[in-house]
Chains A and B, each alone.
Chain A
Amino acid sequence: MKFYVNARYLIVPFMSLIAIVGILFGGSFAWVGVGLFALNTLIDTLTKNIHLAADFDDSGESYGIKKLQYSVMFLMLPVFIALQVVLAYRIFQYNADAPIVINSFLGLSYQAGISGFNLIGATVSSGLWAGLGIIYGHELSHNKKEGFLVSRLIMALSGAAHFTYAHVYNHHLDLGHEDDPATAPRGRNIYTHAWLSHMGQSRFSYILEQQRLRKRGSSALNIDNRWILGYLYSLPSIVLFVWAGGGVGVAALFSVWVIANFLLEALNFMGHYGLIRKDGPVEHRHSWDNDSVFTSWFFIEIGRQCDHHVRGETYFWELDDVEGPNYGIGYFSLFVITLIPPLFRVYVQKHLENWDEKYASAEEKLIAQKFAY
């Protein structure tokens, strides 16, 4: 049981490595990361009706091995760095007009040089898998000092180191309230939300730092300003891509960041869309659960939002179904629906009506009436 519980959370590390190897092999393998994403969407959709509870032994202890899971999360930092390095290597070849030939290394054939088309595949693959850094960046933002820094570094690879502070000090405190940029109000689409949420969290993070430094009598223009520091953590990526490919490198890195941040904000969008919280504590009803089996394992239980927001200190492998609002489908399937806003509006309507009726407090109901959806 212990092996099963711990091994099931290794899908992303395993697939990230395949995406990296795909880019290294080159040719059409550069698209492997994109293909895996499509495959995952299919698996998630096919298994959407399987929902499992968390596993505990007879004494109520979780089977999760903390040392193992933390080692994996920490090791994902070099994996995500490798993902950028292999893309930069391909951009370098493209920019240098390296001839596209088949070479062999240790008996394995790979394509040296890369076409523009396959470079697009490598870039999209990198963006999609870099975007999944959020699941580790998120978990590590909540537990232990060392984890917080690793979370920031993982997020910095996508130009989003501000997330770690904004998530803890803004999202968790102001969830479901208009002061939380990561909660999407009813009627907003995912594209608008991605932009507003990203900028709102960055702005919050800046103000948070400004206030902290002011308390100490320091100016916000300070190397100790962690908002500035977060962006500085992204500098090595910028330098690498500029060096590797000049304008092409910058365009590729920008694409990776846009895709990665879009995925991050898509998770925020799906986790809280349209939910309302008036004064009072955060409760299970203020989040949507997405806990079908593949989503649970792939996204290391980040879809168990209802439990997470009430027990923010709880390790992901201990989060459980708390019978909160539940879309009933996984993140991959829901993500596809959110990409088409008119379809999402139709889909979400019955869920919102159900929420208003079954979960909302009287005050929350009143606020809900102001929204047309």
Chain B
Amino acid sequence: MLNFFRRSPANFAVNLAESDISFNVERGDSLLSSALGAGVPWPFKCKVGSCGKCKCRLVDGKIKPQLDFGYVLDISEIKQGYILACQSVPKSDITVSVNLNENEMDGK
């Protein structure tokens, strides 16, 4: 009952599946900016939700999308839990799966 009055934690933990990498996200910050801030070589290009380069799969936990992922991700990807890290604000501790070797730039 007192849950209602409890302050949510100042930050959440992010664990990368199939690796021992983890880092914290301050409340309200995006997954991508926190990852980059923690020195994780997360793939990205536009940082505004338009290129899809930062996509990863949410294995566990909750995020709040900042933009509609439907412009960049396929319906099947969204159903499988794919999200855009630059447009995702964690709302709990989360586990995500991301291909960190994807970060070579391609195309325009």
Contacts and interface: CB of A to CB of B under 8 A. Distances in A.
Given A145-B65, A216-B75, A169 B108 contact: no
B67 A173 contact: no
13 contacts: A145-B65, A148-B67, A165-B71, A168-B50, A172-B46, A173-B50, A215-B75, A278-B108, A279-B108, A282-B45, A282-B46, A311-B47, A313-B86
Nearest to A226: B68
A172 B70 contact: no
A174 B108 contact: yes
Interface of B: 30, 32-33, 45-51, 64-68, 70-71, 74-75, 86, 105-108
A281 B65 contact: no
A212 B78 CA distance: 13
A211 B33 CA distance: 29
Interface in A128-185: 142-145, 148, 165, 168-170, 172-174, 177, 179
Nearest to A147: B66
Contacts of A170: 50
A142 B67 CA distance: 9
B30 A313 contact: yes
B51 to A, nearest CB: 6
A277 interface: yes
A313 B33 contact: yes
A312 interface: yes
A144 B29 CA distance: 11
Contacts of A277: 108
A208 interface: yes
Given A174-B108, A280-B108, A168 B86 contact: no
B66 A145 contact: yes
Interface string A251-287: 0000000000000000000000000011111100000
B75 A168 contact: no
Interface in A283-298: none
Given A215-B74, A279-B108, A312-B47, 12 more contacts: A142-B48, A145-B64, A148-B67, A169-B50, A172-B46, A173-B46, A173-B50, A179-B108, A212-B70, A278-B108, A280-B105, A312-B48
B70 A312 contact: no
Interface of A: 142-145, 148, 165, 168-170, 172-174, 177, 179, 208, 211-212, 215-216, 277-282, 311-313
Nearest to B51: A173
A280 B104 CA distance: 9
B48 to A, nearest CB: 4
A148 B50 CA distance: 14
A168 B74 contact: no
Contact of A172 (B48, B66, B74): B48
A174 B108 CA distance: 7
Max count, chain A CB within 10 A of own CB: residue among B64, B65, B67: B67
A187 B106 CA distance: 29
A278 to B, nearest CB: 8
A64 B48 CA distance: 21
Contacts of A211: 71
Contacts of A208: 71
A362 to B, nearest CB: 16
A169 B72 CA distance: 9
Given A145-B66, A216-B75, A168 B107 contact: no
B67 A281 contact: no
A335 B22 CA distance: 49
Max count, chain A CB within 10 A of own CB: residue among B45, B70, B71, B74: B71
A169 B71 contact: yes
Contacts of A279: 105-108
Contact of B70 (A215, A280, A313): A215
B67 to A, nearest CB: 7
B14 to A, nearest CB: 17
A311 B67 CA distance: 17
B70 A145 contact: no
A144 B66 contact: yes
Contact of A312 (B46, B65, B71, B75): B46
B65 A177 contact: no
A142 B50 CA distance: 11
A173 B64 CA distance: 23
A173 B107 CA distance: 10
Nearest to A146: B66
A204 B33 CA distance: 28
